[in-house]
Copies of this chain bind each other. A is one copy, B any other.
Amino acid sequence: MPERTPQDIETPALLVDLNAMEQNLRTMARFFCNRPARLRPHFKNHRVLELAERQMELGAIGITCARLWQAERLVRRGIRSVLIANEVAGDGDLRRFVELSREAPVLLAVDHEEVVRELGRLARSSGVQLNVVVDVELGLKRCGVAPGQPAAELAKAAVAEGLQFRGLMGYEGHLQLLAPGSEKETVVSRAMQSLADTRALIEAEGIPVSVVSCGGTGDYRTAGSYPGITENQAGSYLLMDRSYAAAAPDFHETLVVLATVISVTPGERIVVDAGVKAVSGERGLPVVKNMPGLRLRALHAEHAPIDILEPGVALKPGDRIELAVHYHDATVNLHRRMFGVRNGVVEREFTIEH
């Protein structure tokens, strides 16, 4: 079969640079291979089962995910050590979690006494062991209970309800994108310390804590080395993007959206066939890769108009350009497939789970 190149792919298409991605994979794996904290990378960003398997092969102790359905796919693929780093609520979803727990000891984040009580009832009526970690709020102001006593109370409630209390998680998402440096280290360490203190408080009650999960790509060095922390949830490191790059200089951007020029107004603009349905405009507009004479003006629904800033840009309809992805998590979500490219050849095609 002849080699396929990006030129042969229908656009708009999501391309990943395999060399860059594999370097990211190895850089993070190497960091976590010989320290107390281990890597449990997040699945929500890439949602490719093969890539989760690859992360496991390189030493990850399990996978973190955001949704019940993601945990179901991972377990059914054979990855049994899964953390759902978010709350689940509602009768239907809590029952699905019980069913999943028959298959594998999936960890679920909890932050509310009522859910803990409901899970306790379900555990007793089903006879299934349900594993939970208490979600601790570290300043992001999203999910989680306050560190210290409130978290310890919820841990005790989980134990009293007969749940398998496994430990704690926290996500200092508001600190991830800070520029690297000593100031960032200070605030990240403070968040880690409040998790470690909460752990100590719970252990002092005679309740064992085996999991303390936190951290991301933007603070993995500090969070992943902090005493009392057992695992790191970094996810963005694998595919990386423009919006994250300054906060995570150890990793390479890997993604572009390939687009076709469908209209040319000479000296003024081109229009490509990729708009907000193919590349996210959240957090900022994508830029045209390797063509400084072009500036993306806006993302429309189905296209992007791109202004020509320098004379001499000689594109014609049918030519291809690449948009460097600004925010990969929302962009990957817009695609069903991701094409793995190495040295100009499409080497493989990944299925993105939905």
Please report A residues at the B interface, Cβ cutoff 8 Å.
8, 10-11, 44, 66-67, 86-93, 111-112, 114-115, 135, 137, 141-144, 173, 260-265, 268-269, 271, 273, 276-277, 280-282, 299-303, 305, 316-318, 320, 329-330, 333-334, 336, 354
Nearest Cβ distance between residue A246 and chain B, in whole angstroms?
Answer: 19
Number of chain copies forming the complex: 2
Query: A91 near B318 (CB under 8 angstroms)?
Result: yes
* C-alpha gap A264/B87 in the complex (Å): 10
From B10, B135, B280, B317, A112 is in contact (CB under 8 Å) with B317
Interface contact B282-A86, CB-CB below 8 Å: no
Interface contact A86-B303, CB-CB below 8 Å: yes
Contacts of A115 in B (CB 8 A): 317-318
Question: Known contacts being A264-B112, A317-B112, A336-B354, is A303 close to B142, with CB within 8 Å?
Answer: yes
From known contacts A90-B318, A318-B91, A330-B276, infer whether A111 and B282 are also in contact, taking CB-CB under 8 Å: no
In Å, the complex CA distance between A296 and B44 comes to 22
Q: A143 near B277 (CB under 8 angstroms)? A: no
Known: A89-B262, A317-B115, A318-B89. Contact between A300 and B142, CB under 8 A? yes
Q: Give CA–CA (A354, B334) in the complex, Å.
A: 10
Question: Assuming the A-B contacts A44-B302, A282-B281, are A92 and B10 also in contact, with contact meaning beta carbons closer than 8 angstroms in the complex?
Answer: yes
Q: CA A318 – CA B90 in complex, angstroms? A: 4
Q: Are B142 and A316 interface neighbours, CB within 8 A? A: no
Instruction: Give the shortest distance, in Å, between A141 (CB) and chain B (any CB).
Output: 6
A135 CB, nearest partner CB in chain B, Å: 8
A-B contact pairs, 15 of them (CB 8 A): A8-B92, A66-B301, A88-B262, A89-B261, A90-B260, A112-B263, A114-B316, A114-B317, A115-B318, A141-B268, A141-B305, A143-B262, A143-B271, A173-B300, A333-B334
Interchain nearest-CB distance for A277 vs B (Å): 5
B282 touches A66 (CB 8 A): no
Question: What B residues does A300 contact at CB under 8 A?
Answer: 142, 173
Evaluate contact between B302 and A89: CB separation under 8 angstroms.
no
On chain B, the residues within 8 Å of A329 by CB distance are: 277, 301
Q: Cβ of A280 and Cβ of B276 under 8 Å apart?
A: yes
- Which residues in B have their C-beta under 8 angstroms from that of A261? 89
Is A317 a contact of B87 with CB atoms below 8 Å? Answer: yes
Among A44, A137, A263, A302, which residue has the most Cβ atoms of chain B within 10 A? A263
- Rounded to whole angstroms, the CA-CA distance of A143 and B317 in the bound complex is 11
Known: A8-B92, A89-B263, A93-B260. 10 other contacts (CB 8 A): A11-B90, A86-B273, A90-B260, A90-B320, A115-B317, A144-B263, A276-B333, A277-B329, A301-B330, A336-B354
